[in-house]
């Protein structure tokens, strides 16, 4: 363990040295608030449902709760999440968009979590849900990062045996956290933070994120139903379409717009807002790579004869004459030496 620590510190230092100002600032804020928790009570930095709403209005907790951690392993998860987002998402979005994404997810997690516990209090009249529950930590942002990775590199393989792709990791982790909650090994605010992080990040990336091709990502591989197993996707898709239609009527979401390019040389081209041609090209290259690997695997399993060996064997058969005690002859002609053809002598006339 002592030998591994210097290497881990050196590797982390190399990563942070090449990171942007946003990633460095977020990591520094997580470490600072964790060290500050040893000196003072940092509970006022977490979202407490009873203090977020009137008459207290602890609005600042919507910003600080995602950076507050109380255990060293939680700090490690927060730093790893921020670093992964900086390495994989920031090159695609830019530092400013990454900061906007972090802010949107954390504010949404704080608001949705507070409203959920407020409704729980209204159903149970238990003051614990208002003044004891504290929503904090980076699990909400972790869920958002996993959703963004599903959008950008969902076909990448995380584990080979068993084969696990990035696209299924968000729901696998949600199932794991749910099992830990049922076993009372995880507190309910952590599960709520992760779940609301998944929902809020998908809504933002699906409908509101601005980029060069407009706003949102209406690609089929990023639909809400794709987060669930295939057997559940038709039912979830139907329910999601009903909710989306309702939100369109109240003008919270926009209608899906299709653009038809009638002047295309081959056929009509349909483009959806948010679909990036670079992403389509990347998926095509991945499909070609997978096809080539499968064909190579089939070729390795099959034993193909060598063409050079076949030519050498054929040449040897032509060069070597058939053994015979008597050279073949034709009627009225002499024997033909060196012939490899089988001939017959004329039969003597019958008497």
Give the SS3 label for residue 120: helix
Q: What is the CATH number of the domain that holds 68?
A: 1.20.1540.10
**201, 144 contact by CB (below 8 A):** yes
pLDDT in tens, 103-119: 999 999 999 999 999 99
Residue 224: inside a domain:
yes
Residue 124: inside a domain:
yes
Please state the φ and ψ torsions of residue 139, each to the nearest 5 degrees.
-65, -35
pTM of the predicted model as reported, rounded to 2 decimal places: 0.73
Residue 324: inside a domain:
no
Please give the pLDDT value at position 251: 79
Residue 242, pLDDT above cutoff 50: yes
Give the chain's domain count: 1
Residue 306: inside a domain:
no
Residue 260: inside a domain:
no
Q: Which domain holds residue 193?
A: 11-229
Structure tokens at 253: 């979401």
Q: Give the burial class of 69: count Cβ atoms within 10 A of its Cβ; 0-12 exposed, 13-18 middle, 19 or more buried.
A: buried
pLDDT in tens, 162-220: 888 899 999 999 999 999 999 999 999 999 999 999 999 999 999 999 888 788 888 88
Closest CA to 114 of 51, 199, 191: 51
Residue 159: inside a domain:
yes
Give the SS3 label for residue 262: coil
DSSP letters for 45-107: GSB-HHHHSTTT--TTHHHHGGG--SSHHHHHHHHHHHHHHHHHTHHHH-HHHHHHHHHHHHH
Q: What Cα–Cα distance (Å) separates residue 34 from each residue in 11, 62, 256, 342?
A: 22, 17, 44, 97
pLDDT in tens, 77-106: 999 999 999 999 999 999 999 999 999 999
């Amino acid at each position: 363990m002592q030998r591994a620590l210097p290497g881990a510190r050196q590797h982390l230092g190399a990563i942070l040295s090449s990171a942007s100002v946003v990633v460095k600032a977020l990591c520094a804020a997580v470490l600072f608030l964790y060290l500050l928790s040893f000196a003072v009570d940092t509970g006022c930095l977490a979202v407490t449902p009873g203090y977020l709403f009137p008459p207290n209005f602890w609005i600042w907790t919507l910003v600080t709760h995602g950076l507050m951690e109380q255990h060293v392993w939680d700090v490690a998860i927060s730093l790893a999440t921020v670093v992964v987002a900086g390495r994989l998402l920031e090159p695609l979005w830019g530092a400013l968009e990454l900061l906007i994404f972090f802010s949107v997810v954390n504010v949404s997690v704080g608001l949705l979590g507070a409203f959920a516990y407020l409704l729980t209090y209204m159903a149970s009249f238990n003051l614990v849900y208002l003044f004891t529950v504290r929503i904090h930590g980076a699990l909400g942002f972790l869920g958002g990062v996993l959703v963004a990775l599903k959008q950008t590199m969902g076909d990448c393989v995380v584990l080979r045996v068993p084969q696990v792709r990035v696209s299924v990791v968000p729901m696998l982790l949600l199932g794991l956290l749910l099992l830990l909650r049922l076993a009372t090994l995880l507190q309910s605010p952590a599960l709520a933070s992760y779940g609301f992080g998944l929902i809020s990040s998908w809504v933002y990336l699906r409908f509101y994120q601005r980029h060069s091709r407009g706003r949102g990502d209406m690609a089929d591989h990023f639909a809400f139903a794709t987060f669930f197993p295939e057997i559940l996707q038709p039912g979830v898709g139907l329910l999601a379409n009903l909710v989306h239609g309702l939100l369109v009527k109240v003008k919270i979401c926009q209608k899906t717009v299709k653009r038809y390019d009638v002047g295309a040389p081959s056929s009509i081209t349909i483009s959806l807002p948010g679909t990036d041609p670079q992403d389509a090209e990347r998926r095509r290259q991945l499909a070609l790579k997978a096809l080539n690997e499968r064909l190579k695997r089939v070729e390795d399993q099959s034993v193909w004869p060598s063409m050079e060996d076949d030519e050498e064997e054929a040449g040897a058969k032509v060069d070597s004459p058939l053994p015979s005690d008597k050279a073949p002859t034709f009627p009225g002609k002499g024997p033909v030496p060196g012939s490899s053809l089988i001939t017959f002598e004329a039969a003597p006339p019958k008497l």
